Amino acid sequence: MRSLAVLLLLLWSAAVSAADEVRVLIDVSGSMKQTDPQNLRVPALKLLLELLPPGTRAGVWLFADHPEPLLPPALVDDAWKRQATAASARIHSRGRHTDIEAALRAATAGWDKAPEDGHRHLILLTDGMVDVEGDAAADQASRERLLGRLLPGLQNRQVHLYTIALSDQADHALLKQLAVATDGWNETTRSAEQLQRVFLKIFRKALPRDAVPLEGNRFKVDTSVREYTLLVFHQPDSPETELVKPSGERWTAARHPDNVRWHRESGYDLVTVTNPMPGEWQLVAKADPDNQVMIVTDLKLKVPPLPNYVLAGDSLSLVAELTEHGKRITAANFLRLVDFQFRRDAAAEPVPLFPGEETGTYTQTVTDLESGTYTLQVTASSRTFERRWEQSVEVIANPVRLETTLPHRPGEDAVLRLIPDPTVIDLHSFHATAVLGNGDSRPFQAIGEGQWESRIPVGETPVTVNLQVEATDSQGHSLPVAFPPLSLEVQPEETPAEEEATAEEEMDEEALEEELLEEETESGRWWAAAAIAGGANLTLALVGFLLWRWLQRRTRKRHEALLQRLA
């Protein structure tokens, strides 16, 4: 299936709610003495915890031979952050093993069922493989339990797992599979010096904040902003960071008023300003792409979150809207002054978002994404304010093709077929298993040259399936193969009447395409006529322009309607 069905309304809520919870697991095994000799896990964890908004619930565990709570889950406030800063000094590198299974079980204790509200985020930092007490067979058994039993439990309880690999020795395939299957995120860094930035990326994934663009070390604050937090990365020997108000007054870490909290750590400044002066502010520091301005405001740019992982060839649908006090803004006099733009990456040229079917919504469809990581951006700007939304999405170019045949009646089997690319994969090494949401597994069987098949029974309710694939290339190197989880459900057969309706709809779409082409030609003629008339009469030219714009909007809406019907 080439087009991704994104359930935008079910994923809505980029804002933090009181029920959002973040739990963190920090590896303290002995190998960290080499991987992180300066214990840079401490300032990285401090940054993550400082960024947590009030009202979030958070907890931290250390793990090696066994997990130990560093900070039990509690509500985040100023007192909790002071406690967290002190507790982070207890991070060490004295453990013998790396029991990831026990760590995940401890950190998810109390998450017995799916949450009624909010989101659950679990962050795992490790530099090693699964290493439990015992021999290699015990390690393999623990790894299999992670994928076969613990992973379906995480999915059923709606836990998003964010994995960070801090060395080449980490089990990258396992960490990536856990992240993809739970719609979390996987990061790899071979330098502990990058941990602060990696933790920032994870924070922005888990708990996105309202933001304004920071360009050329300048940013605009409007009258609706009650508070902003500025994050500035710097080198240890960098000059002192300065912040310049619109009035020209200059602030530093040592010199600022009482409405400013300035937290300086090795590697970054974190500055929070309450009731900031409206206007253009300037940052005096070396420009850095990870510097950012997060705001507290009632005027928000809302974009439902997208899947973090998609397969090459899938398409993504963006829907943006501005809200005030939680309600969508629909006033035409306001919206006509706002420019909505989209970039598929920071370096890409912006393209407009088009008005959606519902007043106040603006849409864009992202297609033709090749494999790689993209930072999608949506901006809403006017003369008086700017808002920016960002989300990183990884497009996976999978060397294994999946074909799915859904059953027509409950009790029948769905058929999954895997076809690996023989130019990439050694077919003799190929092995695959389908793991169901209840923990049961179904192996794939070879059914012919280069094809493997598994049959999954489907009942009245959808079945979640995780695909586990092991394969090597012709040189014997292990290949990471990851699939987002599948949801299998009954697909009733079309009745003859439905087939006839589908055929009529296709004919209607062809007629609509012809009508759209005629309207585009018509709109061009109207504009040309108006331009000629404008040479003699400015008023008539204006009327012509407005009529042309109306026709363009009507045509655009018809285009959008057609695209929706074709999707």
Give me the pLDDT at residue 506, please: 55
pLDDT band, residue 102 (cuts 50/70/90): very high
pLDDT band, residue 134 (cuts 50/70/90): confident
On the question of pLDDT at 6 being above 60, the answer is no
Range of lowest pLDDT (202-211, 451-460, 462-471, 474-483): 474-483
pLDDT band, residue 10 (cuts 50/70/90): very low
Task: Characterize the bridge pairing of strands 225-233 and 292-297.
Answer: antiparallel
Average pLDDT over residues 437-462: 93
Phi and psi torsions of 195, nearest 5°: -60, -40
Range of lowest pLDDT (27-31, 278-282, 288-292, 367-371): 367-371
pLDDT band, residue 290 (cuts 50/70/90): very high
**Local structure of 286: helix, strand or coil:** coil
pLDDT band, residue 505 (cuts 50/70/90): low
Give me the pLDDT at residue 2, please: 36
Average model confidence (pLDDT) for the chain? 86
Give me the pLDDT at residue 368, please: 86
Give me the pLDDT at residue 501, please: 59
Give me the pLDDT at residue 478, please: 85
Give me the pLDDT at residue 500, please: 65
Q: Hunting for tokens 């999946």 — which residue is that?
A: 402
pLDDT digits (tens, 9 = 90+) for 305-358: 999 999 888 899 999 999 999 999 999 999 999 999 999 988 889 999 999 999
Task: Tell me the CB-side half-sphere exposure of residue 389, using CA atoms within 13 A.
Answer: 20
**Local structure of 514: helix, strand or coil:** helix
Greater model confidence, 126 or 548: 126
Q: Look at residues 68, 87, 75, 81 and name the one whose alpha carbon lies nearest to residue 22.
A: 75
**Residue 310 buriedness (CB in 10 A; 0-12 / 13-18 / 19+):** buried
**Local structure of 2: helix, strand or coil:** coil
Give me the pLDDT at residue 511, please: 57
Give me the pLDDT at residue 507, please: 59
Average pLDDT over residues 22-34: 97
Q: Look at residues 312, 226, 235, 317 and name the one whose alpha carbon lies nearest to residue 275.
A: 226
On the question of pLDDT at 17 being above 60, the answer is no
**Local structure of 228: helix, strand or coil:** strand
Give me the pLDDT at residue 258, please: 96
Average pLDDT over residues 487-503: 74
Give me the pLDDT at residue 322, please: 98
Angstrom CA distances, 298 to 13, 148, 201, stand at 15, 44, 24
* Amino acid residing at 123: I
Give me the pLDDT at residue 542, please: 42
On the question of pLDDT at 226 being above 50, the answer is yes
Give me the pLDDT at residue 313, please: 85
Average pLDDT over residues 374-393: 96
- Report residue 186 as tokens: 């996987």
Contact (CB, 8 A) for 103 and 25: yes
Q: What is the DSSP string of 304-351?
A: PPPPSEEETT--EEEEEEEEETTEE---HHHHTT-EEEEESSTTSPPE
Range of lowest pLDDT (39-48, 109-118, 203-212, 313-322): 109-118
Rounded Cα–Cα distance for residues 261 and 254 (Å)? 11
Rounded Cα–Cα distance for residues 293 and 213 (Å)? 7
pLDDT band, residue 521 (cuts 50/70/90): very low
Give me the pLDDT at residue 502, please: 56
Phi and psi torsions of 5, nearest 5°: -85, 105
Instruction: Please state the pTM of the whole predicted model.
Output: 0.81
* Amino acid residing at 110: G
Give me the pLDDT at residue 236, please: 82
pLDDT band, residue 510 (cuts 50/70/90): low
Q: What is the DSSP string of 64-121?
A: SSSEEEEEEEEE-SHHHHHHHHHHGGG----BS-B-HHHHHHHHTTT--S--SSS-EE
Q: To the nearest 10°, report the CA torsion of 560, 562, 565, 567.
A: -70
**Local structure of 528: helix, strand or coil:** helix
**% of residues, the chain, pLDDT over 90:** 74
Q: What is the DSSP string of 241-274?
A: PEEE-TTS-EE-SSS--TTEEEEEETTEEEEEEE
Rounded Cα–Cα distance for residues 95 and 127 (Å)? 12
On the question of pLDDT at 153 being above 90, the answer is yes
Give me the pLDDT at residue 352, please: 96
pLDDT band, residue 513 (cuts 50/70/90): very low
3-state secondary structure 394-422: EEECCCEEEEEECCCCCCCEEEEEEEECC
pLDDT digits (tens, 9 = 90+) for 227-240: 999 999 998 889 99
Give me the pLDDT at residue 495, please: 67
Give me the pLDDT at residue 504, please: 62
Give me the pLDDT at residue 15, please: 41
On the question of pLDDT at 553 being above 90, the answer is no
